[in-house]
Structure 1
């Protein structure tokens, strides 16, 4: 048998470069598109954007799931008011479901006490995320959103190498450092050959409750400027709304009128090219 020449031409089956790092496909599941939601740093509302997108698409009748891969800072179950612990067999886990039927898999649905810190090193966290994907019976999903860990480090790399992500949405905020932070996320995706759906600028503005005028507490929006700089699609700028924060704290994110994020949802649908013949949830 020929030896590997490091171009992977004529490699034997034992060649390391010929081994796939992808986790095994979930059993008894059909997932049409997997969309990662990423940020170059923490604190930009990545989980909020994930939850709002999942809610909007579920209201439109799509079958949606969320894999909460932010192992050390999981927040998805709290936002949806999901408290039922994961159950399953020796080799299969079954996700919990929100009131709209969104399937959720998160470390906080396994821990006896959700406030228990997860003191694991990177490889262990990466292994857990792979299991959350491959050992979960997701059933039939149109979209599985992966709420990525913040940053571009070891765990994010593991997710991209082990889960067949079709595309990502990058979430930013309008501060001055945003161009550099977005650049890290863009370059990570480019190096991993993962398509970018577009850029969402979160916490972009506030709307005056009296006159409805937009106020920009962090300065003017940089959405168009940054998206143009990195040649990616500017999806939309999202508002700061204290009422939304309160509903998330109460586990009632699905009661938010998510029509304000419809432009981003439309971009996801266009990217996924998934036809829908189900009823819209009123």
Structure 2
């Protein structure tokens, strides 16, 4: 056996070679490794997980043990703790983590397994629909690389500083308090950031914006199941997630991954929305199912989650989005569809038990 003695820094470098299951990021940058003690041949590694799924922690602990043993560490003690901010909702259980959104009652993540399904459009119109229920609503654009909320709500002004606080005031539009990276950087400037910087930016949008008292904060998440999704689930208590998909199987494959990701970290899935479900010809009124139809309804039944409705592929939605005049703010049949969507989402939020 090797007599080599390792420093804590050497152990950390070894652990950076272990990725979190299902993600591309390593367990050190994800904050899973909470402590390293290296004394002679004995190494102690403390791990903390933001999920109650012990299969994940067991898999990581096994990888840590094997990695260190293969490197020549003679004795490894791995301590595992579970700290899930998604657990014990409403039970008043003490939480040592700082509350990033103390005035927000409910946080809803609007997510999709892949890009291009109209997630941001759904998020913005959903937020407006929720205001029509008499709720105080915020909308935070968590899609750092591809922010859209600034355009969807026509957030033309720069945010003002909050009086007496080192924070920014959200910009109000259509009764919604909104914030997006799109109003903080030049529209033509790409953000060439690595994962940790993006995760930090999302946390800052939650912590350093004066959201005030809100009934609901809608999070427009980036597509996929990456760093930001895990960061958000680690940092705040999510009431639930709304999954947006289009009807065809190609999109549903990734929607299933999105559902599985949220379930894995203990976030209830409030339901599925089928966007671009059909097209009504303006001249004849004939219905065309361009991307097929009904796929999300069937998937919701299969996954045992609520089906929240169909949103058509309509010129009115596209024109409103491009002009910063969301259809949910307008008195029209399409606007009414988003009001119905908001009602169903709010009903799912208030269900005694959510899958």
Name the TM tier (shorter chain).
0.7 to 0.9
Count of residue pairs the alignment pairs up: 263
Shift of 1:220: 3.0
Unpaired segments ≥5 residues, structure 1: 9-14, 275-282
SS of 1:180's partner is helix
- Once the two structures are superposed, what CA deviation does each residue of 1:143-187 show, in whole Å capped at 9, x if it has no partner? 100000110012221122112211000000012223321210111
Higher relative contact order, structure no. (Cα contacts within 8 Å, ≥ 6 residues apart): 1
How does 1:129-208 map onto structure 2 within 5 Å? 129-208=202-281
Q: Distance in 1 between matches of 2:151 and 2:271?
A: 26
Unpaired segments ≥5 residues, structure 2: 1-43, 50-78, 86-95
Q: Does 81-90 or 117-126 show the bigger shift?
A: 81-90
Q: Which has the larger radius of gyration?
A: 2
How does 1:15-54 map onto structure 2 within 5 Å? 17=81, 24-26=98-100, 30-54=103-127
Q: Does 1:101 align with 2:175?
A: yes
How does 1:1-282 map onto structure 2 within 5 Å? 17=81, 24-26=98-100, 30-88=103-161, 91-98=166-173, 100-111=174-185, 113-253=186-326, 255-256=329-330, 257=332, 258-273=335-350
**TM-score (norm: length of structure 2):** 0.68
Q: Sort the Cα spacing of 1:255 and 1:264 in 2 relative to 1 into closer, same or farther, 3 A.
A: closer
**TM-score (norm: length of structure 1):** 0.85
SS of 2:215's partner is strand
Shift of 1:20: 7.2
- Once the two structures are superposed, what CA deviation does each residue of 1:87-134 show, in whole Å capped at 9, x if it has no partner? 326632211111x221111111111x2221111111111011011112
Preserved contact between residue 246 and residue 252 of structure 2 (Cα < 8 Å):
no
Q: Distance in 1 between matches of 2:180 and 2:47?
A: 39
